[in-house]
Amino acid sequence: MLKQPAKMIYDLRQHKSLRKAYLKQQIRNSQFPTRELSELFSEPQQKIESLRREYSELQLSTELKDKVTKKRRETKWNGGGQIGEEIELLYIVTRLLEPDRIIETGVSAGYSTAFILTALKKNGHGQLRSIDLPVYQSDTDPYDEFGSYLPDGEKSGWAIPDGLRDQWELYEGKSSEHLNSILKDWRSIDVFFHDSGHTYHTMRWEYDTAWPHIRPGGVLASDDIYLPRLRDLGDPFGDFAKRENISPITYSEMGILPVSDSGRLRTQKRRAMRRLRDY
């Protein structure tokens, strides 16, 4: 049994061939997909650029960083990670789509959650339900360079400003414990966002489970889409996109898959065939 899985990931990142492939992919995705978003949402590129300016002018990043810095000073906690540039894509998609119902898996301190909630607040409507299995610093490996663990004694989403919590519900536990019940309650959703366990099984299970419930015109979003490949665990996001015959929109480590009527029809046919085989 591996006693230091995070150190293994770190060693993999140092592997020259893997690191080279990873950096090449990152370079390809370093340009913000303004044109792709314009075409997907039938909005002029000026609208996308306007939302990019809106995002850059938000004080939320500073507020979150200050809160994390204060917590580090006051405690022995050294987590928190970073606010990734890919969050901009998630924020702008939320503003453009103006969703009523979003499901998110994986919260930790609440960086992505806070930006989704900010977008919903600016939209003037929408609800976010998040699922998170809290992991604390005392439970983690000292080699964990991602820093996604929580300070001891804090709850998932502890860094989210109080003024953003009105449109948010948190479900504590695994996605396998809560995702199906939320989907059963809501039936149809506008956005599903994966940011929980980045293993092949977890990512594919969440994609497969949420996909039939995303309305046409909605999107599936996923963070850290290249991380499983660094862990030599395959390419769950790429495989799913190929199965659905969809060209994803990507930026940094974020991937977006739009749901169309034709994609919904393929899913319904696949589920019907599965029921016939099981009959």
CATH of the domain at 209: 3.40.50.150
- The residue segments making up the domain with residue 266 are 5-278
- The CA distance from 144 to 230, in Å, is 15
d(CA 221, CA 218): 10
- For residue 21, what pLDDT is reported? 62
pLDDT in tens, 218-260: 999 999 998 877 677 889 999 999 999 999 999 999 999 999 9
Q: Quote the DSSP letter at residue 141.
A: -
Contact 58, 90 (CB under 8 A): no
- Which residue ranges in the chain fall short of pLDDT 70? 1-29, 138-148, 230, 262-279
- Three-state SS at 189: strand
Q: What pLDDT, in 10s, does the model give residues 140-161?
A: 544 344 556 888 889 999 999 9
Structurally, the chain folds into a number of domains equal to: 1
Whole-model pTM: value is: 0.84
Residue 41, SS3? Answer: helix
Residue 262: predicted pLDDT:
56
What was the pLDDT predicted at 79?
79
**DSSP bridge partners of 102:** 128, 191
Return the closest-CA partner of residue 267 out of 180, 181, 208.
208
**pLDDT for position 62:** 94
